[in-house]
């Protein structure tokens, strides 16, 4: 059996425009390894569906919606269902907003004009590797770093966190978009050990998401210049 057939990724589309939801659903319907299991018009409807037991692997979450928008919904999903990957969708290419959402736990950020292949690739990558980087997310994270003053840096209580060589290695591999399984194979330890190291990294650096860890890594010059 091929790798593509081993897992069917369950997706939910949350957007207040029925035509957009229908378009994404149709686009994804041709993929054998992705299945749309539900749709919602706003965050409140989504949360009710999750509580009722409809649990996806990945949520495509629009930012601007009535009743409960994506910005309010994201932290709630991450708090109650941390295993769910959330890809934020918007018409606005706002780098400051991208950084904010990723620090809140978003796994990626796409403009709604992204083509079908990009959306599909983001879904698969987030599902397998937790985080999907693209030009928009990378530039937003780097610009955020440039805008931080020395004073801001000094105010961050965990900037001087002391990491072991193993932790630095894991962090670098995470920033190279390696999956937990790939990191485990490279280092020669179990995936469970790598997950424990990742949790320890978040605790030491005072970050809550992969995006936060990447910001820490870049700010402390732990990565190659190519990042």
188/129 same-domain check: no
Residue 34: the pLDDT is 96
Residue 95: the pLDDT is 65
| Mean pLDDT along residues 161-187 | 86
**At 113, which CATH number?**
3.40.50.2300
25/66 same-domain check: yes
Q: Is the pLDDT of residue 128 over 70?
A: yes
Q: Is residue 224 part of a domain?
A: no
Q: Is the pLDDT of residue 223 over 70?
A: no
What confidence tier does 17 reach under pLDDT thresholds 50, 70, 90? very high
172/201 same-domain check: yes
Q: Is residue 226 part of a domain?
A: no
Give every CB contact of residue 53 below 8 A, 6+ residues apart in sequence. Answer: none
> For the chain, what percent of residues have pLDDT higher than 90?
46
What range does the domain containing 174 cover? 148-219
What confidence tier does 1 reach under pLDDT thresholds 50, 70, 90? very low
Place of tokens 């105010």: 155
**At 200, which CATH number?**
1.10.10.10
pLDDT tens, position by position, 50-76: 999 999 999 999 999 999 999 999 999
109/157 same-domain check: no
Give every CB contact of residue 44 below 8 A, 6+ residues apart in sequence. Answer: 67, 68
Average pLDDT in the chain: 82
> For the chain, what percent of residues have pLDDT higher than 70?
81
110/173 same-domain check: no
Other C-beta atoms lying within 10 Å of the C-beta of residue 203:
11
Residue 53: the pLDDT is 94
More confident: 150 or 91: 91
152/128 same-domain check: no
9/114 same-domain check: yes
């Amino acid at each position: 059996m091929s790798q593509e057939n081993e897992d069917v990724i369950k997706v939910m589309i949350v957007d207040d425009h029925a035509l957009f939801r229908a378009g994404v659903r149709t686009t994804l319907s041709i993929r054998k390894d992705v299945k749309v299991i539900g749709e919602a018009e706003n965050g409140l409807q989504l949360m009710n569906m999750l509580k009722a037991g409809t649990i996806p692997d990945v949520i495509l979450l629009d930012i601007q919606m009535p009743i409960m928008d994506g910005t309010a919904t994201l932290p709630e999903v991450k708090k109650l269902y941390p295993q769910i990957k959330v890809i934020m969708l918007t018409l606005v290419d706002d780098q400051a907003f991208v950084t904010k959402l990723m620090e809140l736990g978003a796994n990626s950020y796409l403009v709604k004009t992204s083509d079908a292949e990009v959306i599909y690739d983001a879904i698969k990558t987030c599902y397998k590797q937790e985080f999907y980087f693209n030009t928009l997310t990378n530039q937003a994270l780097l610009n955020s770093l440039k805008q931080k003053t020395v004073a801001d840096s000094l105010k961050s209580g965990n900037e001087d966190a002391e990491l072991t060589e193993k932790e630095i290695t894991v962090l670098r591999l995470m920033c190279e978009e390696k999956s937990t399984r790939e990191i485990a194979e490279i280092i020669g330890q179990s995936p469970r050990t790598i997950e424990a190291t990742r949790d320890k990294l978040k605790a030491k650096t005072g970050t809550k998401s992969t995006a936060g860890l990447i910001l820490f890594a870049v700010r402390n010059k732990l990565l190659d210049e190519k990042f």
